[in-house]
């Protein structure tokens, strides 16, 4: 589930903008202002974008929620101030009021985006898992991991036997490099 998002960032951002524009338009047709349905869709769009985007574009979607809401409120404040504030408010006041009215949606949507992106990042580094796999002393060692190097804190049960020492390793034989003719800067 955490590794499924593989869509390019620009596509995800464009899709988010289209959905928000459509929902804002429908909200204005139904109630002449942005209301709770807009806020709910905004949060869902933010979370969906975080799950849909490819890992290389996490940053683009990570900064999208505040810019998306600010852009929506700015356009509405310019063209229809009554949709985001009182109709007699100045442009700047309408913009600030619009952001303030939708602050909860922004905080929840932004938090959801950042948390989901962080969880996806962890899962990518752990091959799809959010938690480290449990390792027990009785479990066979994975093929690509030397079991002697598992840290005790990664084990479910305490280890009674001391770990093998490096001295038990066979020495590598082979040619040793000759000493450098230049030592300490003298030739």
Residue 175 within any structural domain of the chain: no
pLDDT of residue 122: 84
Q: Given pLDDT bands bounded at 50, 70 and 90, which one contains residue 131?
A: low
For 168, phi and psi rounded to 5 degrees?
-75, -10
Instruction: Establish if 35 belongs to a structural domain.
Output: yes
Does a structural domain hold residue 33?
Answer: yes
Spatial separation of the C-alpha atoms in residues 67 and 69, rounded to whole Å = 6
pLDDT digits (tens, 9 = 90+) for 58-81: 999 999 999 999 999 999 999 988
The answer as to whether 182 is a domain residue is no
Q: What is the pTM of this model?
A: 0.67
Q: What is the residue range of 48's domain?
A: 9-125
- Residues whose CB is less than 8 angstroms from the CB of residue 89 and which lie 6 or more positions away in sequence, other chains included: 81, 97
Q: Which residue has the tokens 């030397």?
A: 146
Tens digit of each residue's pLDDT (9 = 90 or more) over 83-104: 898 989 999 999 999 999 999 9
Segment 16-60, tens digit of pLDDT: 999 999 999 999 999 888 889 999 999 999 999 999 999 899 999
Task: Answer whether residue 109 is part of any domain.
Answer: yes
The structural domain count of the chain equals: 1
Share of the chain above pLDDT 70, in %: 64
Residue 153 DSSP SS3: helix
């Amino acid at each position: 589930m955490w590794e499924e998002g593989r869509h390019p960032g620009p596509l995800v951002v464009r899709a988010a903008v289209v959905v928000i524009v459509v929902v804002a338009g429908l909200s204005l047709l139904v109630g002449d202002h942005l209301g709770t349905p807009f806020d709910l869709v905004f949060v869902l769009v933010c979370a969906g974008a975080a799950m849909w985007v490819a890992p290389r574009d996490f940053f683009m979607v990570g900064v999208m929620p505040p810019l998306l809401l600010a852009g929506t409120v700015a356009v509405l404040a310019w063209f229809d101030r009554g949709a985001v504030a009182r109709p007699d408010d100045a442009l700047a006041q309408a913009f600030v009021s619009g952001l303030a009215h939708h602050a909860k949606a922004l905080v929840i949507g932004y938090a959801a985006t950042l948390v989901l992106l962080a969880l996806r990042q962890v899962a990518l580094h752990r091959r799809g898992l959010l938690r480290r796999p449990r390792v027990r002393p009785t479990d066979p060692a994975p093929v690509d991991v030397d079991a002697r190097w598992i840290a005790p804190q990664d084990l479910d049960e305490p280890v009674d036997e001391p770990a093998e020492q490096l001295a038990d390793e066979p020495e590598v034989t082979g040619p040793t490099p000759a000493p450098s003719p230049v030592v300490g800067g003298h030739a």
